[in-house]
Amino acid sequence: MRTVPGRTDRVVVVGAGLAGLAAALRLRGAGREVTVVERGPGPGGRAGVLTRSGYVLDTGPSVFTAPEVLEDTVAAVGDKLADRLTLLPLETTYQAQFADGSTLDVAADPDRFAAAVEALCGPAEAAALRRYLAELAELYRLQLSVFIDRNLDSPLDLLGPQLLTLARRGGFGRLWNHVARRFADDRLRRLFSFQALYAGVSPFRAIAAYAVIAQLDIGAGVWHPVGGIGAIPRALADSAADAGVALRYDADVRELTTSGGRVSGVRLADGETLPADAVVVTADAPHRLVPGLRGPRRPVHSPSCVALHLGVRAPLAGHAHHTISFGAAWREVFDELTRDGRPMSDPSLLVSMPSVTDRSLAPEGGQVLSVVAPTPNLEVGPSLDWRTLGPRYRDELLTTLEARGWTGLTGAIEVEELATPHDWAAQGMAAGTPFALAHTFGQTGPFRPSTLPRSGPENVVLAGSSVQPGVGVPMVLMSGRLAAERITG
């Protein structure tokens, strides 16, 4: 593994999102002097929080998996996650809502899940489910240490028996075909393939190896941090501060100063320069900040989304913490998102209502909801004027939700926040998507931008969703560790 040469005693981390905080904790645990600079007023990055009128709305990720990665992150400074954060396992991972009116509770307990599948789809599909859950667990174990949770400098790093095993198991075929061979019921096929959108690709184009994403949520379970997803970066920041990391908020970075092929300091917008032996940059498009760094050639970005966050004075009884609401259309909506550049004509939606689990997030009699609707990014859909389209699309989403069972939602809204691809772009996210580079084959594993680029200053390391290993809360936390290892060895 390549590492940063020379002295690395003083490290400046640019960005107090999950990747930056994870890197800071790892570096501090290895004895480095660490300063984190963040342009916002507090930690979080994309894991933002809006608090208004008693409602606490997470404006970033809404599904939290793999708590062991978070546990390991704070353990780098000798801390215990339980002392910082309370995590509640969800008994129902998702409630799947299908266009034919049927529903399926995806239970964390495999026996209860299999019983629900048998009641809905029959005993043969329940037996197929048990086989597939075991297969997913083994696939995840196979991929984690070799393909995901490590720094990769070359495709040659993958050579070994695990690669052959993955190929024999069809890991380089198409995800949809992989799932369709396991299940006859189209509803289960959708349930175990929609996660490809988390990786920024259609299930009809994603490689089958990305079936492991379903292991993270359906196989291993989903958790809720008390206080919301925004409590995670706050816990990481508190742990870092107590370990001696300097956290500088409202500190916008103007430029990186260089000397002799290395960054020597980080200059802030107010003119102050922080000396640095190494720098970790977590920006979505780091080549805009790092001198001499080449951006990816012909990048393919993930689809974007419209996110509607609501505080509602209504019980909305009968709905789960997370609901996957599938439209009737399937293959065609992925063409709309990734090829045609238009919003889904029959949308599938992720609706999260965490106040079902955590009443601290809403006042009495109220609920908080986050509705995520995938949309084309600004490269695929350049003609979409989201300044005009956004309010209309918001109304369409509410109409769709009302029709799908969230009755009385529209008239009970007290707080709302709408984010469109235009808003993501204004925050500096390439192509107006919060999901970064898509996990196409050419942007996966060793082909994804490295945490230690070969261009630019030799002591700049990258972390975040645009580099290895990729998108999602666990992956971003892993990227922070991988970035730190480029400095500590």
CATH classification of the domain holding 278: 3.50.50.60
Structural domain tally of the chain? 3
3-state SS class at 33 = strand
The residue from 436, 451, 472 where one domain ends is 436
Judge if 209 and 326 occupy the same domain.
no
| Residue 468 near residue 451, CB atoms below 8 Å | yes
- Provide Rg for the chain, Cα atoms: 22
Judge if 446 and 464 occupy the same domain.
yes
Helix 231-242 crosses helix 18-29 at what angle (to 10 degrees)?
20
57 in a structural domain? no
Rounded alpha-carbon distances, angstroms, from residue 72 to 24, 66, 67, 68, 230: 13, 11, 9, 6, 19
Q: Which of 440, 482, 434 shows the shortest CA–CA distance to 148?
A: 482
Say how far apart CA 176 and CA 61 lie, in whole Å: 25
The residue from 188, 219, 250 where one domain ends is 219
In our burial notation (b when 16+ CB lie closer than 10 A, e otherwise), range 56-83 reads bbbbbbbbbbbbebbebbbebbebebee
Judge if 199 and 187 occupy the same domain.
yes
Judge if 202 and 121 occupy the same domain.
yes
The DSSP code sequence of 202-262 is -TTTSBGGGGHHHIIIIIT--EEETT-TTHHHHHHHHHHHHTT-EEE-S--EEEEEEETTE
Peptide bond into 469 cis (omega under 30): yes
199 in a structural domain? yes
Judge if 431 and 342 occupy the same domain.
yes
416 in a structural domain? yes
Judge if 391 and 454 occupy the same domain.
no
447 in a structural domain? yes
The residue from 398, 419, 436 where one domain ends is 436
| Residue 319 near residue 406, CB atoms below 8 Å | yes
55 in a structural domain? no
Domain that holds residue 124: 112-219
Judge if 467 and 382 occupy the same domain.
no
Distance of CA 202 to the CA centre of its chain: 16
Judge if 404 and 459 occupy the same domain.
no
Judge if 370 and 432 occupy the same domain.
yes
106 in a structural domain? no
Strand-pair category, 322-325 with 349-352? antiparallel
Judge if 253 and 215 occupy the same domain.
no
Per-residue pLDDT of the chain (489 residues; tens, 9 = 90+): 899 999 999 999 999 999 999 999 999 999 999 999 999 999 999 999 999 999 999 999 999 999 999 999 999 999 999 999 999 999 999 999 999 999 999 999 999 999 999 999 999 999 999 999 999 998 888 877 777 777 877 777 776 777 777 777 777 788 999 999 999 999 999 999 998 887 888 999 888 888 888 988 998 999 999 999 999 999 999 999 999 999 999 999 999 999 999 999 999 999 999 999 999 999 988 999 999 999 888 999 999 999 999 999 999 999 999 999 999 999 999 999 999 999 999 999 999 999 999 999 999 999 999 999 999 999 999 999 999 999 999 999 999 999 999 999 999 999 999 999 999 999 989 999 999 999 888 888 888 999 999 999 999 999 999 999 999 999 999 999 999 999 999
C-alpha torsion angle, residues 62, 63, 66, 70 (rounded to 10): 10
378 in a structural domain? yes
Judge if 206 and 194 occupy the same domain.
yes
Burial group, residue 85, by CB count within 10 angstroms (0-12, 13-18, 19+): buried
42 in a structural domain? yes
Q: Which long-range contacts (CB under 8 A, 24 or more apart) does 162-169 make?
A: 166/139, 166/142, 166/209, 169/139
Judge if 366 and 426 occupy the same domain.
yes
